[in-house]
Structure 1
């Protein structure tokens, strides 16, 4: 089938990352995909070759407003439309669809693929119809699909070869190839926004046992640089290392190589879950603090122990304790929770499989 996936970038790495993983997974399963994205530039390093059309089965189009005249008319109509995170398709697509429907052609299966959440309402909303009541597309139906963490949701993105890749992975070899420390010291990867607790965590972890912190390029490294003057150096046991931009597989490898992973948004959270290592999630902040309930619902699903809940709340500025860093001994104890969560998710159908099944049902 031919899929059109529409993405308006808000959290640039997360939105792009989720959409690209979905495109690549669909293509691996024999589907044809066009990704329409308004800010595609990060794909240059995230998925080298994507912008040049070197990924079999996937075409990337910069979603300009307006689109070049005649572009939509020149393309084969799609069998499936995916609105990623609730964005509307380009107006040129809507106009073309109205003309085709009036001519008696079948519309695509039209899916609004929403943000994921562990909140209870997601199960109730998953797979609900959204009829179009007005305008030239009146009578058509969109469908809400929600990624999530339970069998009553759409599941999470998971490539079929992921367990085998993890099984064959050698962390020491990969770290050495990247010029990153591969010794016995515990390692943390840091991918975050700008958490107010960052300086306190680095300062307090620096008084714990010796450790290596692998800081990702971009906002995380900028955030560390912003608190640099507040961090002691000569007395700290914490060594910081900057990680260059990584491909999506490379980022997976980073997570598999660390004893603790700080992740943010949606894409990296899902990859941390598949890694099965202790992790802390920096949830995307919302102006009305709606992310607080979303975080608590996730921690409930995760069956997080008290120390992991406390750290999440401090890291996400829900609380402001004097002591934030729990200590490496406590962190290692979070591993059982992470592995149990991964096993629950592996028992569920992945998001791409569910999308394919839903489309087959509606067609």
Structure 2
């Protein structure tokens, strides 16, 4: 009999929470034969990830997942065998009562935010609070052994490598998006939050001796791009040329297409959590725009990841990468750090693939969750 899983997602902003939970729900259903209900409180945000979703329906099936609208008018619902509160969201009180009323208590887990900090290993899998005898557990994704790993579908790395070897396939994919980079141009993607340092980066790209074709999916960074270009508005399909820099705005695409977009690019600027992980699976040099938190505690998380990611780099390449990431995440001038980074491009490219393959040696997040449940029962 299939284990029944309930995943609760409260959409805060930026699509990262729904992006992670939608990937997880699909993988649990497709690869582990789990019966998954995905509870989402904002179906319009979910629609960006899954255009087939009907935002008017309270219940529907999408790609093997039972998608439910998590509304304020909560109807009595039996609790599942496994309950995941994504990113510490608060479950409906009536549902928690239903968990407490089960003959056999469900496994209740808080799927926490991704972090490379050392303390995560010590907290992963530990019990948290109780509700009327129902125990909640911490479950931390992570990069280190002893954590829950990263979301990675079966065969993902092999599919990515095959796609990157297929020049014609990559060209056809890009052409389907209306992208026709000039021969020899550096292809880059930019998906980020607002950033005052962007103008200095675009300035240096426009003055570079090598052409760059910059793909900018619709998102919060568009306002900064628009100001730098000096145009009144930007929309999907717009293309602007400044010096040796071509800026092209792309429509918001579904997750599978975004993966392929990252695989096509030579360098990817990513943000938050979901695109950050997918950028690593692309095996290409990347730049992470971490979600800003009060009192700059996000910079501790940034430094923790950089300490792990750069361990195998030469001292000059390590310094160059760290300088670029820190400039980007403090809204600082990007010009000098980008120029220095280019000096180490071959090493950083090799390193990105090596890091990807090393991370892929660990169990993926969905498999780790299933194993945790099986050990628990």
Q: 1:143 to 1:185 in 2, by over 3 A?
A: same
Q: Which position in structure 2 is the counterpart of 1:197?
A: 197
Q: Secondary structure of the equivalent of 1:41?
A: helix
Q: What is the TM-score normalised by the length of structure 2?
A: 0.87
Q: Secondary structure of the equivalent of 2:15?
A: helix
1:38 maps to 2:41: yes
Distance 2:270 2:242 in 1: 27
Q: Which position in structure 2 is the counterpart of 1:358?
A: 372
Match of 2:113 among 115, 120, 130: 115
Aligned-pair CA distance for 1:321: 6.4
Q: Which position in structure 1 is the counterpart of 2:356?
A: 342
Aligned-pair CA distance for 1:95: 2.5
Q: Which position in structure 2 is the counterpart of 1:247?
A: 254
Residues 91-240 of structure 1 mapped to structure 2, 5 A cutoff: 91-98=93-100, 100-101=101-102, 105-132=103-130, 137-169=131-163, 170-182=169-181, 183-208=183-208, 209-229=210-230, 236-240=243-247
Q: 1:331 to 1:126 in 2, by over 3 A?
A: same
C-alpha contact 1:280 1:312 (8 A) present in aligned 2 = yes
The number of equivalent residue pairs is: 348
1:313 maps to 2:326: yes
Q: Secondary structure of the equivalent of 1:93?
A: helix
C-alpha contact 2:195 2:331 (8 A) present in aligned 1 = no
Taking only aligned residues, the RMSD between alpha carbons, in angstroms, comes to 2.0
Distance 1:205 1:49 in 2: 38
Match of 2:25 among 12, 23, 26: 23
Distance 2:76 2:259 in 1: 35
Q: Secondary structure of the equivalent of 1:219?
A: coil
Q: Which position in structure 1 is the counterpart of 2:336?
A: 323
Report runs of 4+ in structure 1 exceeding 3 Å deviation.
50-54, 318-322, 327-333
Q: Secondary structure of the equivalent of 2:5?
A: strand
Q: Which position in structure 2 is the counterpart of 1:285?
A: 292
Q: Which position in structure 2 is the counterpart of 1:302?
A: 309
C-alpha contact 1:7 1:84 (8 A) present in aligned 2 = yes
Q: What is the TM-score normalised by the length of structure 1?
A: 0.90
Distance 1:332 1:224 in 2: 28
Q: Secondary structure of the equivalent of 2:199?
A: helix
**Gapped runs of 5+ residues in structure 2?**
164-168, 232-239
Distance 1:254 1:77 in 2: 39
C-alpha contact 2:195 2:221 (8 A) present in aligned 1 = no
Q: 1:322 to 1:163 in 2, by over 3 A?
A: closer
C-alpha contact 1:259 1:332 (8 A) present in aligned 2 = no
Distance 1:44 1:319 in 2: 35
Distance 2:241 2:70 in 1: 50
Tell me the alpha carbon deviations over residues 134-175 of structure 1, each in whole angstroms, 9 at most, x when there is no partner: xxx333211101000011110000000312321332321211
C-alpha contact 1:213 1:238 (8 A) present in aligned 2 = yes
Distance 2:226 2:262 in 1: 22
Q: Secondary structure of the equivalent of 1:288?
A: helix
Q: 1:234 to 1:341 in 2, by over 3 A?
A: closer
Q: Secondary structure of the equivalent of 2:359?
A: helix
C-alpha contact 1:155 1:354 (8 A) present in aligned 2 = yes
Q: 1:50 to 1:109 in 2, by over 3 A?
A: farther
Aligned-pair CA distance for 1:338: 1.0
Report which stretch shifted further, 331-340 or 211-220.
331-340
C-alpha contact 1:16 1:40 (8 A) present in aligned 2 = no
C-alpha contact 2:82 2:106 (8 A) present in aligned 1 = yes
Residues 271-282 of structure 1 mapped to structure 2, 5 A cutoff: 271-282=278-289
1:64 maps to 2:90: no
Q: Which position in structure 1 is the counterpart of 2:235?
A: none
Report which stretch shifted further, 149-158 or 49-58.
49-58
Aligned-pair CA distance for 1:88: 1.8
Report which stretch shifted further, 167-176 or 2-11.
167-176
